[in-house]
Amino acid sequence: MNTSGGQLIPVLDIVALACFVLAWAAYVAYTKRCNLHNSRGLLAAMNRVREQWIIALLDRENRIVDSQVINGLVRKETFFASTTLLILASTVALLGMGDQVNQLFREIPFAQHTPLALWELKVGVLALIFIYGFFKFTWAIRQHSYCAVLLAAIPLPEKIDEQNGREQARRLAKLSNLAARHFNDGMRAYYFGLAELSWFFNAWVFLLVTFWVILVLYRREFHSKALSILS
């Protein structure tokens, strides 16, 4: 592939990038189908736990613990959102360091010499991954903030039936599950971001690490000890 500057981007790198994107999209589609339709996976198991939590809070007059749970989730998401911004700032700074980093990579076995256009493509893809993660984390923050409002709107146990409290509780559970899914998507972006870092060595390592990351994610989401405990 020729760029406007006359530099050549190897076809193998383009193929590796395409495989990376397709593998990520296919894995997300697969996990979504399993969690939503087949009720399999770690996220689906936690969705059931959150629904049990909502049923339990209907019988409590004091819901301080429940609000602390939501606040804890918001703090966790805020931490990852702010960390992602720091990573993005560092990634943007890498755009102007192609020549210096190339000199460093020449001393590393199996690392390929990277044309400037390819270097910018690699850094740009890395930035896009963490931009995607940032949007996921911040949307999860907003949704859990809405959960706090819904929690406050749920009536006391003696007025649950007359004020449609159970329907409000179901909305809270669904919104919390949705926020958890977006947070999970953001965390998955970190895994694939680490896979994309291997592209800076060469395209073959990139393909291998992408496959390895998918195996790690699959095992943790569908065959982990945590899932067996929750199930």
State pTM to two decimals. Answer: 0.87
- Dist. CA 141–CA 78, nearest whole Å: 7
Rounded to an integer, the average pLDDT of 27-39 is 83
The secondary structure of the chain, three-state, reads CECCCCCECCHHHHHHHHHHHHHHHHHHHHHHHHHHCCCCCHHHHHHHHHHHHHHHHCCCCCCHHHHHHHHHHHHHHHHHHHHHHHHHHHHHHHHHHHHHHHHHHCCCCCCCCCCHHHHHHHHHHHHHHHHHHHHHHHHHHHHHHHHHHHHHHCCCHHHCCCCCHHHHHHHHHHHHHHHHHHHHHHHHHHHHHHHHHHHHCCHHHHHHHHHHHHHHHHHHHHCCHHHHHHC
pLDDT at position 35: 75
Residue 4's pLDDT is: 44
- Cα–Cα distance, 4 to 210 (Å, whole number): 29
Q: Predicted confidence band at 6 (pLDDT cuts at 50, 70, 90)?
A: very low
Q: 108 is written with which tokens?
A: 């590393």
Residue 202 sits at φ, ψ, to 5 deg, of: -170, 170
Is the per-residue pLDDT at 19 higher than 90? Answer: yes
Q: What confidence score (pLDDT) does residue 149 get?
A: 92
Q: Give the C-alpha separation, 60 to 54, whole Å.
A: 10
Look over the chain and give the mean of its residue pLDDT values, rounded to a whole number: 87
What are the tens digits of pLDDT across the range 101-159? 666 666 666 666 667 788 888 999 999 999 999 999 999 999 999 999 999 888 888 88
Taking only the tens place, the pLDDT of each residue in 78-87 is: 999 999 999 9
pLDDT at position 5: 45
- Select from 164, 227, 173 the least CA-distant residue to 52: 173
* Residue 27: CB atoms within 10 Å: 18
3 pLDDT exceeds 60? no
**Average pLDDT rounded to a whole number, residues 26-47:** 85
Whole-number Å distance between alpha carbons of 203 and 3: 18
